[in-house]
């Protein structure tokens, strides 16, 4: 699958709306991250990952993180980010923005008029008069691979 857009920070993909369901077993119980639990006794109906992760297929995009500007928000290179254009902006949320015709993923602070990275090694992007900013979509989910990296 080839990206719809790519820069040094992100790649944007459209989800395959013709794909069949993606089911996974669902454990409807609290799962301890400490001592082991015999979880097989708690399996319920499978859960459709598409239904879980995508509220609106027509306005949802999958983005592959490429840079490290949002690392302190838990977003690392290679993570997949699920953005929904149908979700409204909210303060403190992570947004996919278009700033002067370039996509970027940042916190948006409209009061301070800046895009804020989640990495102390990066400075906030102060918006100036003449800058064109569009909050294109809001982050719904981030997915990362833990096994076999």
In this predicted structure, what is the pLDDT of residue 25?
Answer: 46
Residue 62: which of 128, 134, 14, 131 has the closest Cα?
14
Q: Are 15 and 64 in contact (CB under 8 A)?
A: no
In terms of CATH, what superfamily is 5-16+38-143?
Umud Fragment, subunit A (2.10.109.10)
In this predicted structure, what is the pLDDT of residue 32?
Answer: 57
In this predicted structure, what is the pLDDT of residue 85?
Answer: 92
- Average pLDDT per consecutive 10 residues, the chain (149 residues; last block may be shorter): 76 68 52 56 70 85 91 94 93 94 94 96 96 94 85
How many Å apart are CA 149 and CA 147, to the nearest integer? 6
Beta bridge partners of 73: none
- State pTM to two decimals: 0.75
**Catalytic residue set:** 69, 106
Separation in Å, CA 123 to CA 7, 67, 83, 85, 89? 19, 14, 24, 26, 22
Tokens matching residue 114: 């800046």
In this predicted structure, what is the pLDDT of residue 88?
Answer: 94
DSSP per residue over 49-81, as a string?
HHHHH-S-GGGEEEEEE-SSTTGGGT--TT-EE
């Amino acid at each position: 699958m080839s990206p719809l857009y790519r820069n040094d920070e992100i790649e944007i993909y459209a989800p395959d709306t013709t794909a069949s369901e993606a089911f996974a077993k669902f454990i409807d119980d609290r799962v301890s991250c400490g001592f082991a639990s015999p979880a097989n006794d708690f399996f319920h109906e499978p859960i459709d990952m598409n239904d879980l992760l995508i509220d609106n297929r027509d306005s949802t995009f999958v983005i592959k993180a490429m840079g490290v500007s949002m690392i302190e928000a838990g977003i690392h290179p290679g993570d997949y980010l699920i953005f929904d254009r149908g979700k409204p902006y909210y303060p403190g949320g992570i947004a996919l923005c278009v700033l002067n015709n370039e996509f970027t993923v940042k916190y948006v602070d409209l009061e301070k008029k800046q895009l804020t990275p989640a990495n102390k090694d990066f400075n906030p992007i102060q918006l100036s008069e003449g800058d064109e900013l569009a909050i294109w979509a809001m982050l719904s989910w981030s997915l990362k691979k833990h096994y076999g990296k």
